[in-house]
Amino acid sequence: MALTDAQSGGTVYALAAAYPVTLAGTVSKGDILGYSAGWKRALATTGAVIAPRVVALADGVSGGVIKVCPVVLIGGRFSACTVGALVYTAEGAAAGQYTETKPVTSGDINAPVGHAVAADMILVSCAGNLDSVA
């Protein structure tokens, strides 16, 4: 079984200083965000890459201000994580979600953003995350 991201619910624990950003799209608490003409859900897909930078600490809509953090522990939003597995930003229509499948298409962002620490919990660290493309 592979990591399943419900993209809702769960608990997010900030492990570094949180700060406010203004959103350029709708986000859910725990979504991984990047900046591309505003703060929005990150996406690994070539041609639409939005590099992961921070994690949303609350739900929000375009124009809203929420707090974000580059290092977090997220639990309860996931199931079937492989403990110890690297976690990446998802591709395709899964903007803001996480996956254990490393993106491999040329031009995709393929740097890991964290790892699974339990079957339902991941540690995300965007701090120092360099853009890496396949």
Global pTM value: 0.88
State how far the Cα of 38 lies from the Cα of 65, in Å rounded to an integer. 12
**Are 10 and 29 spatial neighbours (Cβ–Cβ below 8 Å)?**
yes
Among 94, 97, 102, 100, CA closest to 116: 100
Confidence of residue 130 (pLDDT cuts 50, 70, 90): very low
**Are 91 and 82 spatial neighbours (Cβ–Cβ below 8 Å)?**
no
**Are 65 and 24 spatial neighbours (Cβ–Cβ below 8 Å)?**
no
State how far the Cα of 41 lies from the Cα of 23, in Å rounded to an integer. 9
Average pLDDT, the chain: 88
Question: 65: left (phi > 0), else alpha (psi -120 to 50), else beta?
Answer: beta
pLDDT in tens, 27-64: 999 999 999 999 999 988 877 888 899 999 999 999 99
